[in-house]
């Protein structure tokens, strides 16, 4: 499992600034991915044993079960941004998206895809303006996935039977472990999508950095 900076700080019971200093000094194993540092749990535990350091794993459990403070920016950064997703039908682009999104190794991708397709069969997740927000009908309590929103730009527009009839060019695949977090992230994403400037940025297929920066900017106005 990959851990973020704030999680490692909790595990070590140290300030995030101290962890960042250790990273710069090469004292702790970390990798720079998608604009931020991540830690692999197994490597971190091995490092801790070697340095006779005790990890506060109870703190990690608390964090995994309580993400009330999560922002849309956090969830989108965690989910990643992907381009040129292939497919001519909703089921094809969803299958391709699920295959490229970075999940923990124990996640059953086939089961996840099935849940997304079941929701799509119930009613389209296409909300208009070329945007769809696929998500399972029920929270993913039994899957080891932390709340995330994966942004997937399609290679070509796909008919999702959206409310305005426009083909979808971008998916925001929302995966959460609780209804509370799902509604919070959905509300924040809806807020961004009501901003015409944000929609225009989406249509320009922005870089991951530009997209996330705009999301952070809009969230800061809430």
* Cα pseudo-dihedral 175, 124, 101, 189, rounded to 10: -60
Enumerate the β-bridge partners of residue 209: none
User: Which tokens is 113 given?
Assistant: 């895809």
How far, in Å, CA of 40 to CA of 221, rounded? 34
DSSP 110-130: HHHHHHHHHHHHHS--EEETT
CB-based contacts of 6, cutoff 8 Å, min separation 6: 16, 63
Q: Which phi and psi (to 5°) does residue 101 adopt?
A: -65, 140
Burial call 162-176: b when 16+ CB within 10 Å, e when fewer? beeeeebbbbbbbbb
**Token pair listed for 137:** 């009908």
182 assigned to active site: no
Tallying the residues shown for the chain, one arrives at 222
Which tokens in the block code for residue 102?
């970075």
Q: Which of 36, 40, 51, 135 is catalytic?
A: 135
Separation CA 216–CA 131 (nearest Å):
19
Query: Catalytic site residues?
Result: 135
């Amino acid at each position: 499992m990959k851990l973020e900076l704030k999680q490692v700080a909790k595990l070590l019971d140290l300030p995030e600034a101290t962890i960042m200093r250790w990273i710069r000094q090469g004292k702790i194993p970390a990798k720079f991915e998608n604009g931020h540092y991540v830690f692999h749990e197994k490597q971190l535990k091995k490092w801790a044993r070697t340095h006779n350091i005790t990890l506060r794993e109870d703190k990690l459990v608390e964090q995994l079960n309580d993400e009330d403070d999560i922002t849309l920016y956090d969830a989108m950064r965690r989910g990643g941004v992907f381009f040129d997703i292939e497919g001519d039908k909703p089921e094809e682009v969803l299958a391709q998206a699920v295959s490229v999104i970075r999940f923990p190794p124990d996640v059953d991708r086939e089961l996840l895809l099935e849940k997304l397709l079941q929701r799509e069969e119930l009613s389209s997740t296409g909300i208009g303006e070329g945007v769809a927000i696929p998500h399972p009908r029920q929270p993913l309590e039994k899957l080891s996935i932390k709340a995330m929103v994966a942004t997937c730009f399609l290679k070509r527009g796909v008919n999702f039977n959206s409310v305005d009839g426009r083909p979808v060019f971008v998916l925001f695949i929302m995966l959460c472990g609780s209804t509370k977090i799902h509604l919070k992230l959905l509300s924040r994403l809806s807020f961004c999508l009501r901003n015409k400037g944000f929609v225009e940025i989406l249509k320009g297929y922005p870089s991951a950095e530009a997209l996330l920066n705009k999301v952070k900017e809009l969230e800061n106005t809430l």
